[in-house]
Amino acid sequence: MEDRHMIRGTTEAWESGALGLTQANAKAAPAELEAAVDEALGLQAISIRLPKGLIEAYKMLAKMHGIGYQPLMRDALQRFVEGEMKLLLIGAAEEQTQRQAEAEQPSDASPPLRHAA
């Protein structure tokens, strides 16, 4: 039996969006599935107010990179946090090294005086 409504395509057609990228082919995932995916990926939805210009800039950059603006924002935030954490850890390590070096240095104080007997 032949299905006359079946769309034949190639992998390239699906990946480029030529097939299946219209609103008619999309539907929302059930809330349980969305929650399970978020949990599996360690994601949490938040609400944040940002300047319109910043959002528009992200949308433009995201379009240039061929991704959505929200994943781009998530990536930028992740990179920022990783960089800041690295700086904090480097600073803490330098402070620890400094304290150890100071503790190992001989004291500048003169030795106690000995009284003649």
Taking residues 33-43, what's their average pLDDT? 92
Q: Please give the residue that has the higher pLDDT: either 82 or 3.
A: 82
Residue-level pLDDT at 97: 94
**Per-residue confidence (pLDDT) for residue 111, from 0 to 100:** 62
Residue 92 lies in a domain: yes
pLDDT at 14: 76
55 assigned to some structural domain: yes
Please state, in angstroms and rounded to a whole number, the distance separating the CA atoms of residues 44 and 38: 7
* Range(s) of the domain holding residue 69: 49-102
Q: Which helix (H) or strand (E) holds 89?
A: helix 69-104
Average pLDDT for the chain: 86
Total domains present in the chain? 1
| Percent of the chain whose pLDDT exceeds 90 | 57
- DSSP-assigned letter for residue 4: T
Taking residues 66-95, report their average pLDDT: 96
Tell me whether residue 9 is in a domain: no
